Structure 1
Amino acid sequence: MITQNWFKYGVAIITLFLVGCDNDKPFEIIVSNSLNIDRSFETVEIDLDLLKSDITLKLVSGKSYRISEVGSTKELISQLSDIDGDGTADVLLFQPEIAANSNKKFTVTLKDIEVHSDDIPKCYSRFVPERTDDYAWENDRVAFRTYGPVAQKMIEDSIPGGTLSSGMDAWLKRVDYPIINKWYKKELETDGSYHEDDGEGLDNFHVGTSRGVGGIAVKVDTTYQFSRNFTEYKTIETGPLRTSFWITYAPWKAGEKTIVEKKFISLDRGSNLTKFRVEIEGSETLSVGLTLHEKDGVVTTDVEKGWVSYWEPYFETELGTGIVAKPNTFLGYDKYETNAKDLSNLYAQLKVINGEVVYYTGFGWKKSKQFNTKEEWNNYLAQFAKKVNKPLVVKLSK
């Protein structure tokens, strides 16, 4: 069941109290940054119930919200978001820029809904029936995909072109505009291929039966067990700041345990890490994996701070992958190496709390010019972990 709090980590804390609303005054909020680092491309969620407490901000047909910094007329990009999947917006998203150890005030007002073009939003996801039954998602920095039941059955029936994997594939894009539809069209309708880089990047990340970037497993004695392809999906939203969806899996066995698994996945603008909230039954711990490919990369970990990293040489360039989670859920890590094809993974061992595990996972590709060295990638993960543990704080302005 989709729960109301599935985005509760890594976004702003919403302080739900009222200080009294004067309808002659603008509705203002304060966003505070308690870290000694500048903050940007972090999504703040404002509960719509808080906005509706001011009668001047009651949503009516044809209206939406406008956010701007106090003292500025520039409108910030925002998005109404449905966080529980019931088809109704629950929160208002925006991404402020807040300097280290400081705060800013923002004004929220109503505005007329704008008629948008048919352009694909930068945060985008969809089911892809034309390529068997992939599910793919992307933002302005990274892209991912995973595989559905038709692809699994093709393998089981010995039909060419199938894929048997619950691992997460990385699409190595190096442009800030959407590429999912363009690459599938290139692969399926032209003589070109998304396995070739024509300047936008390419799909050359090998997943196989590995965990790819952030697929899960359950450890049984000295080995790891995992599900097969997803069986159902639902797109929740695509927008300028966030795309989100859920996928479910058939129950699967891990030794004597029966595992029931459902993933809620989101990706925000400006982030190299996609967020997973996994509802899990049948295990008190979960292992989140990063494929080791040729086992020639460098593992870096900081379990106390909540992150692990793998930086590897990859097709004449370099590639970093990583996992971030709250330290109170991080139990350790395992660099699991085997001669079995695709089964060598770096695992983050995470604790299941109240039937769920929340983590962030993604990659940085050197050729995209986002990260040039292992040190830059590890610093990104370390700062991301700090921000997860101390999110921006939002409260009403008095």
Structure 2
Amino acid sequence: MLSHKIPILGFIYAIDCIFGIGKMKGQSSIQVKNTLDFARNEVISVPVSQLKSFLSNNKEGDLRIKDHQNNFLPIQWIDYDSDGKKDELLFLAAVEAKKTNNYTIMADGKTPVPESPVTTYSRLAPERVDDYAWENDKIAFRVYGPKGQQEAVQGIKSSTLSSGVDIWLKRTEKSIINKWYKGYLTDPMFYHKDTRGEGYDPYHVGNSRGTGGIGIWSKDSLQVSQNFVTSKTIAEGPLRTVFELTYHPWSEYGVTETKRISLDLGSNFSKFESNFTAEKKVPNYIIGITLHNNEGQTQLNNKNGWYLHWEKIDDAFVGEGIVVEPAIVEKSWARKSKVADQSNLLVVTKPKQKLVYYAGFAWQKSGQIKTIQDWENILQKQSQIIAAPLLIKIK
């Protein structure tokens, strides 16, 4: 049978060339395989090094991607090291359980790249001292900068001294960062009230770990850094936002930290990548979630590497969580204290030079979850996604 097919394929290719189809040289497809038993809708990262053949024959700006239904997809290029050269190509892949999808790479400078109705976004926010805030279509976060630390030390109540991670409860797919900070300029309580149907910020961080802050557990106490000292936006666009924060040396071990944070469209979890150097041998690194006033429920799953907190804030429940590779976890526990902001769910990890983990949340009023079981299922799926990433083959 094979000997009969070869000339037919050759004939089809020849016809394609006559009519101007198939002129593109280089890679022509991306195969994406989902080995898990649930559907996945995830951002795919393709290193530019794997597109050399295509880009040597076609302009970067002409690259387009079509799905198996012949629809053009939104794409995003990222230059991670700011050298003016693209390092990675992103697109969103929707793959059913135990299925494989094929995406077509083509050169078509005449067809515009589709605009996404939703996006990711991040920036430094000098409107409120110097927060750094980031969001996608589901969730939003912020952390606190050096001016905020300086003002907090001076006793200015509107500023925060903390390396904890704040969460903003949003119930709109639209971007809210710019709108909420603009409102803050005339009303400091603007985003602390849920009066516009978009959500609000009722979450208290203080000196706790918030949702995903880190530290070192030593001598029966938690040692943490202070506010970040520098920030750098690497990318913000329809599919992924990426930025980096640096911190002054902290703890008795003289730890210097650079933290890269990214958030993909459609995800309930930010990815945190902390790179450390230390003057002394470090016993561990911990990841934490505030337990506020020791209320709510916790679940600790060392086997699968996910950790859950479920609490009621005002009139609705919020689920916060951490997901990490189980192999790096030493132990975990819910540490309760009578001291303000010192009650945290703590995940103790082996002291590596690079710590990678995911932290995120879901709010009942966003419509994403109704029960603690819903949130548990999302955490379980995220742990499976980390363990079994989509398989990508470029042809």
Confirm or deny a common fold (TM above 0.5): yes
CA distance in 1: counterparts of 2:350 and 2:43, whole angstroms: 25
> Once the 2 structures are TM-superposed, how far is the Cα of residue 368 of structure 1 from its aligned partner?
1.2
Task: Quote the residue 2:183 is aligned against.
Answer: 186
Pairing of 1:166-245 with structure 2 (within 5 A): 166-190=163-187, 193-198=190-195, 199-245=197-243
Contact residue 121 and residue 238 of structure 1 kept, 8 A? no
Contact residue 120 and residue 178 of structure 1 kept, 8 A? no
Given the two structures, how large is their TM-score scaled by the length of structure 2?
0.88
Pairing of 1:184-333 with structure 2 (within 5 A): 184-190=181-187, 193-198=190-195, 199-254=197-252, 257-282=253-278, 283=282, 285-333=284-332
* Per-residue deviation, residues 165-196 of structure 1 (Å, max 9, x unmatched): 11100011110000000011112135861110
Q: CA 1:32–1:284 in 2, change beyond 3 Å: closer, same or farther? A: farther
> Once the 2 structures are TM-superposed, how far is the Cα of residue 262 of structure 1 from its aligned partner?
1.2
Q: CA 1:34–1:208 in 2, change beyond 3 Å: closer, same or farther? A: same
1:207 partner SS = coil
CA distance in 2: counterparts of 1:64 and 1:24, whole angstroms: 13
CA distance in 1: counterparts of 2:189 and 2:312, whole angstroms: 26
Given the two structures, how large is their TM-score scaled by the length of structure 1?
0.87
The question of 1:32 aligning with 2:29 is answered: no
The question of 1:136 aligning with 2:133 is answered: yes
- Mean alpha-carbon deviation: is it higher for 212-221 or for 88-97? 88-97
Q: Which amino acid aligns with 1:252?
A: W
Contact residue 27 and residue 53 of structure 2 kept, 8 A? no
Q: Which amino acid aligns with 2:342?
A: L
Contact residue 120 and residue 237 of structure 2 kept, 8 A? yes
The question of 1:164 aligning with 2:161 is answered: yes
Task: Quote the residue 1:14 is aligned against.
Answer: none
The question of 1:47 aligning with 2:44 is answered: no
Task: Quote the residue 2:387 is aligned against.
Answer: 389
Q: CA 1:58–1:370 in 2, change beyond 3 Å: closer, same or farther? A: same
Q: CA 1:191–1:265 in 2, change beyond 3 Å: closer, same or farther? A: closer
Contact residue 23 and residue 56 of structure 1 kept, 8 A? no
> Once the 2 structures are TM-superposed, how far is the Cα of residue 129 of structure 1 from its aligned partner?
1.0
CA distance in 2: counterparts of 1:269 and 1:330, whole angstroms: 28
1:95 partner SS = strand
> Once the 2 structures are TM-superposed, how far is the Cα of residue 372 of structure 1 from its aligned partner?
0.7
* Per-residue deviation, residues 235-257 of structure 1 (Å, max 9, x unmatched): 00100000010000100123xx1
* Per-residue deviation, residues 9-35 of structure 1 (Å, max 9, x unmatched): xxxxxxxxxxxx995687012111111
Q: Which amino acid aligns with 2:203?
A: F
Q: CA 1:390–1:57 in 2, change beyond 3 Å: closer, same or farther? A: farther
- Mean alpha-carbon deviation: is it higher for 243-252 or for 344-353? 344-353
Task: Quote the residue 2:79 is aligned against.
Answer: 82
> Once the 2 structures are TM-superposed, how far is the Cα of residue 396 of structure 1 from its aligned partner?
2.5
Task: Quote the residue 1:16 is aligned against.
Answer: none
Q: Which of the numbers 364, 367, 381 marks the counterpart of 1:366? A: 364
* Per-residue deviation, residues 106-163 of structure 1 (Å, max 9, x unmatched): 1111233888999996200000112101100000000000110111111222334221
CA distance in 1: counterparts of 2:40 and 2:98, whole angstroms: 10
Contact residue 326 and residue 389 of structure 1 kept, 8 A? yes
Considering Cα pairs closer than 8 Å and 6+ residues apart, tell me whether 1 or 2 has the greater RCO: 1
Q: CA 1:24–1:182 in 2, change beyond 3 Å: closer, same or farther? A: closer
> Once the 2 structures are TM-superposed, how far is the Cα of residue 81 of structure 1 from its aligned partner?
1.6
Q: Which amino acid aligns with 1:193?
A: F
> Once the 2 structures are TM-superposed, how far is the Cα of residue 49 of structure 1 from its aligned partner?
1.8
Please, which runs of 5 or more residues in structure 2 have no aligned partner?
A: 1-21
Q: Which amino acid aligns with 2:199?
A: G
Q: Percent identity?
A: 38
- In angstroms, what is the RMSD of aligned CA positions? 2.4
Contact residue 122 and residue 236 of structure 2 kept, 8 A? yes
Contact residue 74 and residue 113 of structure 2 kept, 8 A? no
The question of 1:351 aligning with 2:359 is answered: no
> Once the 2 structures are TM-superposed, how far is the Cα of residue 54 of structure 1 from its aligned partner?
2.9
CA distance in 1: counterparts of 2:379 and 2:84, whole angstroms: 33
Contact residue 31 and residue 392 of structure 1 kept, 8 A? yes
CA distance in 1: counterparts of 2:270 and 2:360, whole angstroms: 6
CA distance in 2: counterparts of 1:190 and 1:161, whole angstroms: 12
1:375 partner SS = helix
CA distance in 1: counterparts of 2:57 and 2:362, whole angstroms: 40
CA distance in 2: counterparts of 1:139 and 1:309, whole angstroms: 21
Contact residue 24 and residue 58 of structure 2 kept, 8 A? no
Task: Quote the residue 1:65 is aligned against.
Answer: 63
